[in-house]
Amino acid sequence: MSLNPRIRDWSGRRVWLLGASSGIGLATARLLHGRGARVIVSARQAAALDDFVEAHPGSQALALDITDREAVRVAADRLVAEGPLDLVCYLAGHYRPMRAMDLDLEDALRHQQVNLTGVWHLLAALLPALLAQGHGHLSLVSSVAGFRGLPRSLAYGPTKAALINLAESLYLDLRPRGLGVSVITPGFVATPLTAGNDFPMPALLTPEQAAAEIVRGWERGSFMIHFPKRFSRFLLLLRLLPHSAYFALVRRFTGL
């Protein structure tokens, strides 16, 4: 069952990807450009964005720090003035493994600023325009780490859990107004964010594989786009366990 309008043709659709200078965001930008979308890429790394535009004619670069509320407002106003946005995806993220015994307050707050506060900046700047145009799709990239608490995910997991809850609330409010909403919950993907992990990452995907899953989910009208299925379905099932069983199982498999 499709919870959002299916996207059958990307030709000419204006797509704004925030956090598209590397990893999943960059791979998604490349894939959508290849399917005819008018891709707008944003991130802090202006040089990387310019390289993308040079290699993908017709795309647009808009350098942006999503933790800067005024900069996000200015960017959103500029893009809305140029025409309707058909899809906006928030892919920006910060990740560093953290446990309670090694709490780093500054880095924990950095997770909050990039993974969650930036989304609020985007919503405040963009929702009035999306509601006024009465169509379009808003997508947030969360993680399977947001399903339940996990070791080494002290700072990262709570921000991703918040995004799942936020997307559900947004869907209830916005879908009756003609807007699509989706939340993307990847497993492990080989990106600069995960490169520093010193533990096994089951079912590791490439950014290109992740991008294909995301675009396929948008095309199917999915609400939660989770992958790889053999891993994400298992973690979704774990949400049904009582805490006693869940904690015991996690300790058994992680050794933590």
Token pair for residue 61?
């670069």
Cα distances from 106 to residues 93, 110, 207, in angstroms, run: 16, 6, 28
95 counts as catalytic: no
Q: How far apart are CA 62 and CA 49, in angstroms?
A: 8
DSSP 8-class letter at 116: I
Who contacts 109 (Cβ-Cβ below 8 Å, separation ≥6)? Answer: none
Q: Which two tokens stand for residue 242?
A: 């009582």
For the chain, what's the residue count? 256
Sole residue written with tokens 């709490």: 103
Place of tokens 């800067």: 68
Contact 183, 161 (CB under 8 A): no
Instruction: Please give the single-letter amino acid code of residue 114.
Output: V
Q: Which of 95, 156, 171, 246 is catalytic?
A: 156
Catalytic residues: 156
